Structures are given as C-alpha cells and as structure tokens.
Chain A
Amino acid sequence: MAERVDIYGLLAEFDAPEKVLEAARRAYAEGYRRMDAYTPFPVEGLAEALGFQRTRLPMLVLLGGLFGGALGYALLYYAEVIDYPLIVGGKPFHSWPAFIPIVFETTIFFAALSAVLGMLALNGLPMPYHPVFNVPRFALASRDRFFLLIEARDPHFDRELTRRFLEELGADGVWEVEP
C-alpha cells in the first residue's frame, strides 16, 4: 500500500519568509506547478513565485460597484418617476441630484460585498476540511513557521525525489500529508 501514491503531497517547513520564498522559486524552476505555500502573514512575491498570475478580484469589485450603482438608480427612478410620482418642493420627478447620495451608498455597498464575498469565493472559503491540517506541525503556520507544499498530483512529483529536493532546499522538516 505504501508504494502507491496515496498521499496528498509533501510539506516542507521553513523558519523564515525568505527561505520559503527562495524554496518556492527553486521549486517552480524545477518544474513543479501544483504547489502552495503557507505563511503566518503575507509574504511579498510568494504567490507570484508559485506561478500565481493575478487575481480577478478588482474586476469583480468594479462589476459589483457598477451593479450596485445601477440598481440604486433604477430603484429610485422606478419609485419616484414611475410608481409613485410625488411633487416635493416643486422639484421634477426625475430629480437626479437628490438621488446621488443613495446611488453612491448602494455602489459602495455592493462593491464592498463583492470584495469580501469574491475574495472568499475565489479562495474557496469556507473550506471545512483540508489535508494540510493533518500535519500536526501545520498549526504553526499561523504562528511563526513557513510551509511549502508540493502536491502529489503534480506530474513531476515523486515521493522520494521530491522529498530529497525539499530537504536540499534547507527545510527544517519534510512531512507527508495524508489526503
């Protein structure tokens, strides 16, 4: 059984952000693609070193904002011009300057909501289970340790060679991750 690749991947532990950054760069250069790094705080350039291009989040937020603004304006237009026209202070039904504050607020509301929900969705959160948590040392990823994971799915992955490679990168320890 142990011969078969039935692990999720190999997890290497480092004690400094530069080390995991360097390790990620070398692993990428080696041809590994299905990998991830785990750090207690954002490390600049680490996502890019893993081959992360750019996030679609800003586009989502823009769309969310535009949607919110349009929705707010449509709502006011429908309410004030079509459904319930009421003369107030001698102003026209379509008195757009008075609509600005509400349209502004709905724009921000939907943009902010898309920023948060979009970030969570793109990150695949909430995620009740993930194999990396099977490694007891992984609890330190939220404290002071930095981890690099190479998944078994990666075409270059080899249980022994990858382990040796990670050890050569200066890892303090390499663990097999149960699926």
Chain B
Amino acid sequence: MSAEQRPPVEMATPFDPSVAILAPGHTYASITDKISALVLTRRTPRGWFLGFTIAFLLLMLLLFTAAYLLATGVGIWGVTVPVGWGFDIINFVWWIGIGHAGTLISAILLLLRQRWRTSINRFAEAMTLFAVACAGLYPLLHMGRPWLFYWLLPYPNTMGTWPQPRSPLVWDVFAITTYATVSFLFWFIGLIPDLATLRDRARRRFWRILYGFLAMGWRGSARHWARYEMAYLLLAGLATPLVVSVHTVVSFDFAVSIIPGWHATIFPPYFVAGAIYSGFAMVMTLAIPLRKFYELEDFITLKHLDNMAKVMLATGLIVGYGYMMEAFMAWYSGNPYERYMLLNRLRGPYAPIYWALLVCNVGVLQALWSARVRRNVKALFAIALVVNVGMWLERFVIVVTSLHRDFLPSAWGMYTPTVFDWTMFLGSIGLFLTLMFLFIRLLPVISIFEMRALLPEVAEAKRPADAPASS
C-alpha cells in the first residue's frame, strides 16, 4: 500500500494529475508565494463575498433561533414525549462525525506516513474545529438553561453534588471537551510556522503585528523544528486513540441505554466508521470547490480526490456492514422489541427515510468502485453531497425510529420537526460556513511548510540524479 502512495518514481515526465500529489515545476518560493498570496495579496474573489454573505445570513438565523429559544424554552422544537432527542442529537452526532475526518487526516494518516495528506490536512483540521463548535451548540442549547452549562463540569459546589460518571452523557462532556481542545491545539501548532511566513510576507503593519503575535516569534530554528516535530508526532499519537474514543463515547450515549435499536455492541465501530465516512464526504464537499475557485489543482490533485474516494468507499462499506448486522441481530436475538424495531424501520411511518438512507449511503456509494468515477470531479462532488445527506438521515433513523415506538403502544407518538428545528439546523450550517469562509480568507488553507518539505521528497523520487529543486 505504501509503495503505491509514494510519488511515482518511474513516472513519465508530463504531469499526470491522477497519480502525482504535487504538480511539477514548483519551488520552495513558488509554493510559499502561491499559498500565502491567497491570504495576503490576491484580491478577494467576488464569489467569496457572495458565499460569505449567504453563510452570514444563515448564522444570523441561528442567532435569532437561539435568542428565541432562550427566551421561550425548548418547547419551540418538535421534541416531546416519547421522542425527547430530536434534531439536537441528530445534528450533534452528524457534526461530531464530520469533524472526525479532519483528525483522521491530520493524525492517523501522519502516523501511516501518507504524504498525500499534506495538502488537505490544514483545512480538514479547520473543518474539524468548526464542526465540533457546531456540534457543541446542540447539547448546550438542548439543556434549556444553557447559562448553567457549568453544572456539567465536576467542581465542588454549594449544592453538594457531583456529575454522575456512570452515565455516558457525562463521558460525553469529557470526550467532547478534550476533543475540541486537542483539535484546536493540533491545528494551531500546525499553523505556527505558516503564521511566521505570513508575518514575514505581510506588507501592512497591522497584519504583520497580528500574524507576528500569533506566530509567537517562530524563527525556524533547527532545534525548535526538532522539538516541534516531536510534539507534532506525539500529538498525532494522542489524537488517534482520542478520535476513536470520542465517537465511541458518542455511540455509548445510545448503546449503554436499553432502547431497542440502540443497545448493540456494534455501535462503537459502526459509529466511528460512519463518522469518518461522513467526514470524508464533507472534506470532499469543501475541497472540490476550494481547489477550483482558488486554482489549487496543483496542490490538491486528482490523486487526493481518488484517495479520499477510496477511504469513503472503505468506511462506507463498514457502515453498510453495520446496517446489515443491525438487521441480523434484530432477527437473531429473538427479542420481540428488537424485531419490531427493524420491521418498523422497514415498513413503519419513517420507512421512506430508512430506504433513502440505504440508497444514499450504500447504493450510490458503489459507484466509487469505478476508477473513472473516482477521477470525475463533478461525480465525486455529487456523491459527497449525497453521502452528507445520507449520514444525516442515518442519525435521524437511529434517534427517531427507536424512540417514537416505546415499549407500550400507549406511549407511541410521532416526531415532527418544527420550523425552529430547521432554522437551527440551517443556522448551524451557517455558523460552519461562516467560520470556513473566514478561515479561507485569513489563514493559509494549505500547510505551506509541509508542502515545502514535500518538495525535495517528490523531486528526489522523480529524478534521483539531480539536486532537488531550489529557487
């Protein structure tokens, strides 16, 4: 596998974007100039303003909904007995899952020495951070009294109580807090050398001071690099089990309960795979427009898209296996409630959503077996969008179908999201996109120093006799 991922040694000289991870002809200077220009010198494209405006309006929708929610209460949402976990948990799990691809790319692929991660890790990490921010909103707002959120944290208090650590919901608090912190640290540490580059290249005094402040006086000393690389490697080693633990804990929110359809040992691996699956779909959704509008095809090549499509295919198949096992266990367990849960999914009032999720997550995915599809940017973009939707539907099915038919028919009910559920959801997409647009405008979307480091390796592999390219 690793041999295949290496930059091709016996490649024909013309640039073949489907196998190379960096277009030829680049130098340290050209890489630096091209990526830093996106932030420093290039005119902000009109499309950016358009996109930012839309995203910002959606963000305002979120603020409006949140304000109304705080003034009125969670009754403005569709959640009620028996479905107490509606859009909040669906969206929470969806966003957290999306975040996982960023950590996978930055940490796990680093440990596996997958060099193609270099040009996508920075914005994937940013995506993680922003997705976690969106995810965190939901449990906070679902509390009803978010200003008392600190009751979740263990601290000696006048009420004389402590959070109950035998509950997965308390594990969640620790897992999400740690995940958000570590994701931020990882992202910021990766940014420091690039912030120094921006500091050295910014023309206006304000930006020099701002980037200089954030770069903390980084000067690229060899000793600093040695410790830096060690810290980065250790962080990757720590983030790898962390990312697995986070979605495992999220799945425990369900699996530790005794609700039919949730109480399953398959949940942790199935959730982790689903998280990576949806996350890669989101990376693809962001990467494809980004490389087009910012002309980054040299750096984010078809090889990257191809590899990401393969990861999606692999994780999507694991998710498909999860669906299969759920159905199998429902039958094999002989538990009438489990069986009923499955029949209800297949034929009940929410059946169209279940079938739609199977089509999105398992059906459409099969197109990625074809190398032609994996190299077709438009098809990939469409598939990524479908998977994003499919994974959201999956969480809807998991949350709602298990809850709405309680053990006793007298406690049955239906869940219908209200307009405020939808504005909240759209609003969180607005928050995510707003942060993403600001990030693209203000910080380098591709790790500049890692691309520079990639250059001699790629050049060496291509023409072993020559000295590596220099300016």
Contacts and interface: CB of A to CB of B under 8 A. Distances in A.
What band does the interface of chain B fall in when counting residues whose beta carbon is under 8 Å from A? 35 or more
A2 interface: no
Given A109-B182, A142-B197, A120 B222 contact: no
B467 A16 contact: yes
B189 interface: yes
A15 B470 contact: yes
B143 interface: no
B201 A143 contact: yes
A38 B220 contact: yes
Interface string A8-50: 0000000111100000100000000000111111110011111
A88 B219 CA distance: 55
Interface stretch (B70-78, B133-141, B403-411, B450-458): B450-458
A128 B189 contact: no
B241 interface: yes
Interface string A113-124: 101101110110
A126 B216 contact: yes
A108 interface: yes
B129 to A, nearest CB: 14
A52 B226 CA distance: 9
Interface string B205-227: 00000000000111111111111
Contacts of A61: 234, 238
Interface in A105-151: 105-106, 108-109, 111-113, 115-116, 118-120, 122-123, 125-130, 132-133, 138-144
A127 B234 contact: no
Given A40-B449, A123-B223, A15 B189 contact: no
A40 B230 contact: no
A130 B168 CA distance: 49
A105 B467 CA distance: 47
Given A102-B170, A127-B216, A141-B219, A112 B181 contact: yes
Given A58-B234, A95-B166, A123-B228, A84 B161 contact: yes
Interface of A: 15-18, 24, 36-43, 46-50, 52, 55, 57-58, 61, 65, 75-76, 79-80, 83-84, 86, 88-89, 91, 95, 98-99, 101-102, 104-106, 108-109, 111-113, 115-116, 118-120, 122-123, 125-130, 132-133, 138-144
